[in-house]
Amino acid sequence: MNIKKTVIATMLGLSAVSANVQAEQFTVQIENLTNGIFFTPLLVAAHDSSTKLFQTGTSANASLEAMAEGGDISGLVADIAGTSPTTVENPAVGLLAPGANTTTSMLDTDGTANNYLSIVGMLLPTNDGFVGLNSWEIPSTAGTYSFTINGYDAGTEANDELTASIPAPIDFGTGTGGTGVATSDSNTNVHIHRGSIGDDNSTSGISDLDNSVHRWLNPIARITVVVQ
Amino acid sequence: MSLFTIDFQTAKVKAAIASAAIGTSILLTGCGSSSSHDSTVDMRTYEINVSNVTPNQPFSPIAVILHTSGYQAWVDGEAASTALEVLAEGGDNSSLLSDASDHSAYLASDSGAGAIGPGNYESIQLEVDAQNGASLSVVTMLVNTNDAYTGINATSLADLASGESVSYRTPVWDAGTESDTEAAGTIPGPADVGGEGFNAARSDSSDRVHFHSGVISNQDGLSGSVLTADHRFDNPAAVITITRLN
């Protein structure tokens, strides 16, 4: 199955490159469908078949780590700039709250090979969790395409779930006095996030997160792409 | 590209055969409550099979609705209707089905015969006029929770050819209408005997539909919970297979 997928992706990639043009105009809506997790400024990027913002099973680079641990997408933007991607940065203009949605301005990839869509944004409050979409092939047929996406762990920071380790641009309702859930990541490559564990004690326990607010199960967001 | 197409079609055919085999081996199939039609009208029959793949979350009697575009059982990120609240908190699908039947986009609906236990499934057949371009909504409560449900919301069946089937592995939503205390007396399912179902008060911190963050349980850090690890779930909770029979 993996081999087949690779073959297909390669074929599509080659055909896209040889044709080089695939007229595309589309918008991307991101809906935060979590109970109590915020998304930091999102990077929405249409790019060529060889560009990736992240990949599971591989070690996060410093730019991905900076996004996943601190919400800073500037490193990733700089990393892929050489491939002339079509991007929208921070469409929600700040945090995307639970239950909220945001839609990008029209992305125009006409005359480019930017036929793949990727999205990343940090999950708060987490140590190094992020919402991610990796290289979804943008359909050339006009229509509305909707699907859900998951939360990932960058594998770069232990999920201690302590307030001191987690950026807090606003009050996320985290507690204090936790002893720390974990001291290291067993899987230090990018992987599906196991979810936060939290506890029901805001002044002690193992975690500073609230188990009735800050847990989640995948998927965590819905993406709706409208191709003109 | 051709490789992909062939592979996809093969998968669909396989699914159709499997579903047909299941459909003939059981007699749970209920009759759709579609209204009578002229015999010359081109009718389509859909079989909707809902399979409970949770460890220990019985499903309340399913609400199955065929409709045209314009009806939605809920809108993600927005407040649940009272009818959805009634279903998600107490497992009672009557209000949702009643509201749907009053909607201008309504085509046909049916209720499951009863609860669907973990590991079990139920099939329902509904017949509609082919000209209408049917979409499907299905809703059922995970009854050992405060207000969790799973289902399908206004999914178009327009691309489903005769004899074909399509399967969805569905996640769990939180209606956002009741706080997930998991406390004794607040859960209608067998895990909390005598527990309350629907209560009109909207006690959740935010009154909006979102993906459920899961049961915590008293064995994983929620001291006031009446639920145990056995009642925890992960996504997906259900496999819903739709087969167009003709």
B235 touching chain A per CB within 8 A? yes
User: CA-CA distances (angstroms) from residue B84 to A22, A98, B109?
Assistant: 43, 20, 15
* Beta-carbon separation of A8 and B235 below 8 A: no
B9 touching chain A per CB within 8 A? no
Does residue A10 surpass a pLDDT of 90?
no
* Beta-carbon separation of A218 and B7 below 8 A: no
**B199-235 per-position pLDDT tens digit:** 999 999 899 999 999 999 999 999 999 999 999 999 9
Complete domains list, chain A, with CATH: 21-227 (2.60.40.2130)
* Beta-carbon separation of B211 and A217 below 8 A: yes
Q: Quick one: three-class SS letters along chain A?
A: CHHHHHHHHHHHHHHHHHHCCCCCEEEEEEEECCCCCEECCCEEEEECCCCCCCCCCCCCCHHHHHHHHHCCCHHHHHHHHHHCCEEEECCCCCCECCCCEEECCCEECCCCCCCEEEEEEEEECCCCEEEEEEEEECCCCCEEEEEEEEEEECCCCCCCCCHHHCCCCCCCCCCCCCCCCCCCCCCCCCEECCCCCCECCCCCCCCCCECCCCCCCCCCEEEEEEEC
B110 touching chain A per CB within 8 A? no
What pLDDT, on a 0 to 100 scale, did the predictor assign at position B38? 52
CATH topology (fold) of B2-176+231-244: Immunoglobulin-like (2.60.40)
Structure tokens at B145: 């929770």
A75 to chain B, minimum CA–CA distance in Å?
Answer: 31
Does residue B20 surpass a pLDDT of 90?
no
What pLDDT, on a 0 to 100 scale, did the predictor assign at position A154? 98
Smallest Cβ–Cβ distance between A218 and the set B220, B224, B235 belongs to: B235
Query: Which residue of chain B has the CA closest to A100?
Result: B77
Give the residue, B33 or A1, on which the prediction is more confident.
B33
What pLDDT, on a 0 to 100 scale, did the predictor assign at position A22? 57
Q: CA A129, A131, A136 angle in degrees (round to 5)?
A: 140
B23 to chain A, minimum CA–CA distance in Å?
Answer: 29
What pLDDT, on a 0 to 100 scale, did the predictor assign at position A24? 86
A98 touching chain B per CB within 8 A? yes
Give the residue, B12 or A163, on which the prediction is more confident.
A163
Does residue A6 surpass a pLDDT of 70?
no
Whether the CB-CB separation of A38 and A32 falls below 8 Å is answered with: yes
Give the residue, A5 or B160, on which the prediction is more confident.
B160
DSSP annotation of B226: S
* Beta-carbon separation of B216 and A199 below 8 A: no
Residues 155-184 of chain B with CB under 8 A from chain A are: 171-172, 174, 180-181
Residues with Cβ within 8 Å of A1's Cβ and at least 6 positions away in sequence, in order, are none
Residues 106-145 of chain A with CB under 8 A from chain B are: none
Structure tokens at A147: 């699907």
The Cα B34–Cα B157 span in angstroms is 17
Half-sphere CA count of A165, side-chain side, radius 13 A: 23
A29 touching chain B per CB within 8 A? no
Domain boundaries, chain B: 2-176+231-244
| B128 beta partners | B44
* Beta-carbon separation of A197 and B172 below 8 A: no
**A122-179 per-position pLDDT tens digit:** 999 999 999 999 999 999 999 999 999 999 999 999 999 999 999 999 999 999 999 9
Instruction: Return the residue in A6, A35, A140 with the most chain B beta carbons within 10 A, the one to mutate for interface testing.
Output: A35
B216 touching chain A per CB within 8 A? yes
Show residues of chain B in contact with A12, CB under 8 Å: 1
B85 touching chain A per CB within 8 A? no
* Beta-carbon separation of A33 and B172 below 8 A: no
* Beta-carbon separation of A216 and B214 below 8 A: yes
What's the whole-model pTM score?
0.85
- For residue A123, give the nearest of A77, A71, A175 by alpha carbon: A71
* Beta-carbon separation of B214 and A217 below 8 A: yes
Mean pLDDT, range B69-74, rounded to an integer = 97
ipTM of the complex: 0.86
Q: Which long-range contacts (CB under 8 A, 24 or more apart) does A166-170 make?
A: A166/A124, A166/A125, A166/A126, A166/A127, A166/A208, A167/A70, A167/A71, A167/A124, A168/A124, A168/A125, A169/A95, A169/A124, A170/A38, A170/A95
A192 touching chain B per CB within 8 A? no
B234 to chain A, minimum CA–CA distance in Å?
Answer: 7
What pLDDT, on a 0 to 100 scale, did the predictor assign at position B132? 86
B224 touching chain A per CB within 8 A? yes
Percentage of chain B lying above the pLDDT 90 cut: 80
Does residue A83 surpass a pLDDT of 60?
yes
